[in-house]
Chain A
Amino acid sequence: MLRYLIRRTLFLILVLWIISVLTFLIFVKLPAGDPARRAAGRRTNERIIAQARKNLGLDKPVIVQYARFAKGLIPWPGLFLNRQVYFSYSNYVPVKEELYQRLPITITLTVGAAVLWLLVGLPIGIISAVKPRSIADRASMIFALFGVSAPVFWLGLVLLYVFWFQLGWAAGSGIPAGETLWQAILKGRFILPWVALSLAFAAFYTRMVRGNLMEVLSEDYIRTARAKGLSERRVIFRHGLRSALTPVVTMFGMDVGLLLGGAIITETVFNLPGLGRYAIQGIRGSDFPAVMGVTVLGTFFIIVANLVVDVLYAFVDPRIQLS
């Protein structure tokens, strides 16, 4: 187990390094615009641009620039996302401060949506699997088709229009100035984002659970369990679902990890100042430190989620050993 964790940790570091190099190359070698030119403003001159370049550290050799950024990725006090380098080109705010302030919003959005899509997706998938070709099964498949087909940006706007603008049942987009995250949650400002974000995932999980469970329920050991006289409830939940959920756990970990890196579209549509919107702002403003910070954090979440999933495998499926 220990060796496994060490190996995975080393792999995590390798992937983070590769991602940091890729991100750096994309933004330094293939820039959407010259950050110094942008920082210097539209009406400028050579001297102002040169000074902006120097202030942003862009006058140094590329390898030195990368080394400065890479050093800021080392999880050590004084180095990690240090303000000397990880300082937004756009509004001159430390990136670490931005990430820490926005992370709770993204976590709230992700966790709420994840709970919702599990609460919806799993029961419907199970019902659909145990009663194939029934009305419930047909209805669940229609739901799944709609959920998978409806893009989040469209669904989000429709939900806002209907439930906020027309009916006034839900809160509108954004978190007003002066309102804390808890207040926003209590006022229901996350309800529509949770619904919009979770619908596609719920639909996908419904299909996945249905397919897996139907396959498992046709296995010989399920037939044996039934032949031994176990109740149908025990057969499904104790023996069938446990096997059928293994791939669901895998997907769940990866999906949550990905969303923790920023649900870009949902945060944009619902005007939530989370990591996704920060990433978009950084990209639009050629704000490389911000983009690097979000990218590396997002990568970290995905890899850690994968690691957690792999460890959970051992508990969900006794046939798997960590080695």
Chain B
Amino acid sequence: MRRYLKLLALAGVFTIVAAACNTGGDTVTTTTPPPTDGETTAAPELQRGGTLNMAMLSDDGITYDPQKEYYSVTWSVFRCCLLRTLMSYRGAAADEGGTEVLPDLAAEPPTVSADGLTWTFKIREGVTYAPPLQDVEITAQDFIRALEREFTPEAGAAYPFYYSIIEGTDAFNEGEADTISGLTAVDDKTLEVKLTTPAGDLPFRFAMPATAPIPEGVTDGHDEDYGRFLVASGPYMFQGADLLDFTAAPADQAPVAGFDPGRAHVLVRNPSWGEGESDPLRGEFAYADEINIAIGGTEEDAAAKIDNGELDYLIDGVHPADQVQRYRTTPDLQARIFIHPSDAVRYLSMNVASPPFDDVHVRRSINLATDKDGLRRLRPGGELAGEIAEHIMVPGVLGDLLADYAPYATANGQGDIEAAQAEMAQSKYDTNGDGSCEESPECNNVLAVTDEGDPYPDQAALLSENYAPLGITLDIKQFDRGTMYDKCNDPASHTTFCLAPGWGKDYANATTFAEPLFGNASLGPDSCCNYALVGATAEQLAEWGYDAPEVPSIEDKLAECNPLQGDEQTQCFAELDQLLMEEVVPWVPYLFDNNIDIVSENVLNYHFDQFAGLGAYEKFAIASAQA
């Protein structure tokens, strides 16, 4: 029997590794300050051809199913290469207009009715799908099909909440209707969308991959695995997509060869993609003939391969600090490192219903005492990790509106204990007015939850030092990242201080930083991600066991901002950001992340795609293909 101990050892190893690994990693990409470092511009003489070799450290959870994908990495591949949507982006950095949403498959910007409830999209003529459906033209019904799939329970869509404002989605989702009443194909080239409530950001929502057109019949029998049978509409398609046979029974259909999970994703040219005017956003680009994405490896391994030219670009990793330093300081290499804001914020979340953070003066005091620069220095990349954040919404969604706004500014972002103590003295917990609340039991052992991975334990230790002069001591609990988020997100856990969350935009509009983070609809363990409990009702607070009778709410301001459009909406959200920072004070935002990209010498014409926060791969030209 002794030999079978190996079996138990095998099971034991799996158990231990399972406990050690658990959920995924950081959700927010790390990265640096001055936007763009020697970014090149499109050179007309660039030739098409060659292979772009990229790497992805892991493709766990990647399906390439447009309805299921909720990940910037796959969004970057969809936008550049595989899927066109009614609206999209030009594949550029913010300072080059990369956040501007533009017509893609739409022939022109949509029109909206006076009440903001009816939107009409005119669809571009003559655009067809990739083989084997190269003769099938994209029509209005194809967009309706995509949105219906978004609300088909079996498809397991990731973000139907962005489209639940369309009339009739609930009835369709619950099987009470065969179609979504708010979606009408007026004719083959006209799509009408009726909303239940105005949404000024609708064009952004129609730039998401989930709204990309789906031809008739291709998803039949592929509720779970449509990504392996994906019909492209962009300049590329999966290798072998032309061999898809949708006339066969779904179980007999062979998936594309180019999506080989765990090993490689291979994209080749879509021969039916129309260049030039039929694709104004990508028509002059799509330089590489083939895009290979190898899966696996480590960041160090990828760095070495980029150095020696075996690899051109790492999609989902953080470059090692020594490599970044080398590329920053070596003149010959400086043209191959690119630094851009990634439109993500890192912050500390304070539970406004939980003592001592139920007192706004304590929350303001915490903002003043926090050494934001110290937190940044502990992150990979140090000073290059990003800009110190003085408010909540990233510049990518607010433009320069709050560029000079810093309500809790301190010298070098290192905290100001005197100012913090002065604020604390106004708190009900500082009973003797000495700037410290140590005499109040609520300030002792404040339950703080953080990520067990680097650099969060070190950051937590720094924060403990920061708040000691205020009389606040932290009871720090460390968890794997997934559990940490679960704890922060569950009001019943009474997590007072959440030390390691981050948030990135879904699309370049401030709505993605408002309701999901501070709206009442985003409260509770089965929703996400209002960790601060802003806007919780008295009934909810009682249900979750809080003594606080009420907490601040921004519901009125949300209702004011959401229907607005364009600059007017952006201005409204900037005001909301200020309201949050000064009156509600649910967070200590401390870092606006940067993205650091390093490319091999084989890549010419690097561009950053602000939508996904990664490279604009269609613009990467291959050096070896140039004459």
Q: How far is the CA of A227 from the CA of B389 in the complex (A)?
A: 89
Q: A91-B261, A174-B297, A177-B265 are contacts. A44–B292 as well, Cβ < 8 Å?
A: no
For the complex formed, measure the closest distance between the CB of B256 and the CB atoms of chain A, giving whole angstroms: 12
Interface string of A265-285 (1 = CB under 8 A from B): 000000101000111110111
Chain A contacts with B in 1-32, Cβ cutoff 8 A: 15, 19, 22-23, 26-27, 30, 32
- B158 in contact (CB, < 8 A): yes
- The answer to whether A51 touches B18 (Cβ under 8 A) is no
Residue of A nearest to B307 (CB): A165
- A295 in contact (CB, < 8 A): yes
- A198 in contact (CB, < 8 A): no
- The answer to whether B225 touches A32 (Cβ under 8 A) is no
Residue of B nearest to A253 (CB): B3
Residues in A lying within 8 Å of B, measured CB to CB = 15, 19, 22-23, 26-27, 30, 32-33, 37-49, 51-52, 54-55, 87-88, 90-93, 98, 101-102, 160, 164-165, 172-178, 250, 254, 258, 261, 264, 271, 273, 277-281, 283-287, 291, 295, 298-299, 302-303, 306
Q: Which of B53, B160, B305, B516 contacts A172 (CB 8 A)?
A: B305
- The answer to whether A43 touches B297 (Cβ under 8 A) is no
Given contacts A101-B260, A295-B14, A302-B7, 18 further A-B contacts (CB under 8 A): A41-B70, A41-B158, A43-B516, A45-B527, A47-B173, A55-B154, A91-B62, A91-B63, A92-B68, A93-B225, A102-B262, A172-B301, A173-B301, A174-B301, A175-B263, A178-B264, A258-B10, A277-B262
- The answer to whether A46 touches B23 (Cβ under 8 A) is no
- B528 in contact (CB, < 8 A): yes
- The answer to whether A254 touches B6 (Cβ under 8 A) is yes
- The answer to whether B60 touches A91 (Cβ under 8 A) is yes
- The answer to whether B27 touches A22 (Cβ under 8 A) is no
Q: Which of B53, B224, B295 contacts A55 (CB 8 A)?
A: B224
Q: A174-B296, A277-B296 are contacts. A44–B24 as well, Cβ < 8 Å?
A: no
- The answer to whether B11 touches A23 (Cβ under 8 A) is yes
- The answer to whether A299 touches B10 (Cβ under 8 A) is yes
Most chain B Cβ neighbours within 10 Å, of A176, A280, A291: A176
- B40 in contact (CB, < 8 A): no
Q: How far is the CA of A254 from the CA of B160 in the complex (A)?
A: 51
Q: How many residues of B contact A (CB 8 A)?
A: 70
A-B contact pairs, 20 of them (CB 8 A): A26-B15, A27-B18, A32-B22, A40-B158, A44-B526, A45-B526, A48-B158, A55-B153, A91-B60, A92-B63, A172-B305, A174-B294, A174-B296, A174-B297, A177-B294, A250-B3, A254-B3, A264-B17, A283-B21, A299-B10
Q: Is the interface of A mostly helix, strand, loop or mixed?
A: helix
CB-CB under 8 A from A15, the residues of chain B are: 4, 7
Q: A15-B7, A98-B261, A281-B262 are contacts. A44–B528 as well, Cβ < 8 Å?
A: yes
Residues in B lying within 8 Å of A, measured CB to CB = 3-4, 6-7, 10-11, 13-15, 17-19, 21-24, 27, 53, 58-63, 65, 68, 70, 153-154, 156-161, 173, 223-225, 227-228, 260-266, 292-298, 301, 304-305, 308, 310, 482-483, 485-486, 516, 522, 526-529
For the complex formed, measure the closest distance between the CB of A248 and the CB atoms of chain B, giving whole angstroms: 14
Residue of A nearest to B512 (CB): A43
Q: How far is the CA of A284 from the CA of B7 in the complex (A)?
A: 21
- The answer to whether A19 touches B7 (Cβ under 8 A) is yes
Q: A41-B158, A43-B528, A283-B14 are contacts. A306–B3 as well, Cβ < 8 Å?
A: yes
CB-CB under 8 A from B527, the residues of chain A are: 44-46
Q: Which of B7, B10, B21, B60 contacts A32 (CB 8 A)?
A: B21
For the complex formed, measure the closest distance between the CB of A29 and the CB atoms of chain B, giving whole angstroms: 12
Q: Which of B4, B11, B18, B295 contacts A22 (CB 8 A)?
A: B11
- The answer to whether B159 touches A43 (Cβ under 8 A) is yes
- The answer to whether A280 touches B21 (Cβ under 8 A) is yes
